[in-house]
Structure 1
Amino acid sequence: MQAEDQSGVCAPSVFDATFLRVAPLLRNFLFYRTGDAESAADLVQEAFVRLWENCSKVLPDKARAWLFKVGENLFLQQVAKARVAGRYALEMVRTDEAQGESPEALLEEKEFAERLDAAIAALPEGSREVFLLNRIDGLKYREIADLLGISQKAVEKRMHRALVELRELHPGV
């Protein structure tokens, strides 16, 4: 058992046992969050892929908590992406319905939305997550810190990095 503890959950027997024990629980949790069995199954699969990629860093007795945290983060990313896409789609419909809009103005708005999406997607994962939760979902730094299990100061630093990167690397966005 000592050798397995040192290698994390990389040993096939430990990984398999973790999967058999945790996957149904994680699937139920994510089904509750998503309301969709297929989406929950996809998130569980992605969480276990990430566990395998980080297996040497995760101790067997911490794997369940690690998987639930990863699953929750994957769910939040999925929600944030859907909200961003939904808001842009709504804005595009409103723009299309607006009278007196020139085709050039419509094209400029569409190009801006595409540049903004690309700039946000290029942010590091932690900064992007904090940025979307704050600017799109409207959560306060304290709420984000509680949700992600990090300090409020870490949230502030991630947000600062995201804003600096967006301003410096993507001017005009």
Structure 2
Amino acid sequence: MKKDLNDSICKEVVFERIYNKYSKDLHGYLYYKYGERFNPNDKVQDAFVKLWSNCKKVSLNKAKSFLYTVANNMMLNDIKHQKVVLRHQQVHTKQHTYETPEFLLEKEQFLQRYNKVLTSLNEEQRVAFLLNKTEGKKHSEIAEMLGVTQKVVEYRIYSAFNILKKELKGFKIK
């Protein structure tokens, strides 16, 4: 029976079902945890390639954990690489806009404050908040994705929202 579980991921139908079930959520998780800059879509694809390569070693009930761990490690490796690249290179970009300098300054200052407050949130609060408010995921979906109860997700979102409201004057969310 154990061998059947190990062999079943190697079947195309089962692998396709796993891909359809976890790929979108894994992408969302990586996107909100690390941002678009590190190509979460590529990391999702690479994680599934690695799962396919190791399909005989990974049991069906460990596939989700395997995917999230592999993708997360790929992101961390990419971040380490980017730090090395940034140390050896400076990028200067010119931006032209028709907005007033005052507006641009206010927008930049608010964005900096918003990002600062977001980074001050603990990882659990930030991920739950962004998945809910930006991606539109329901509390139950986030709970399943993160492996916690729905009440925990609600608390994380509520506490993150309160921190944002307290730190940013005029912060409102629909």
Which structure is higher in helix share? 1
* TM-score of the superposed pair, with normalisation by structure 1: 0.48
* TM-score of the superposed pair, with normalisation by structure 2: 0.48
More relative contact order, 1 or 2 (CA 8 Å, 6+ apart): 2
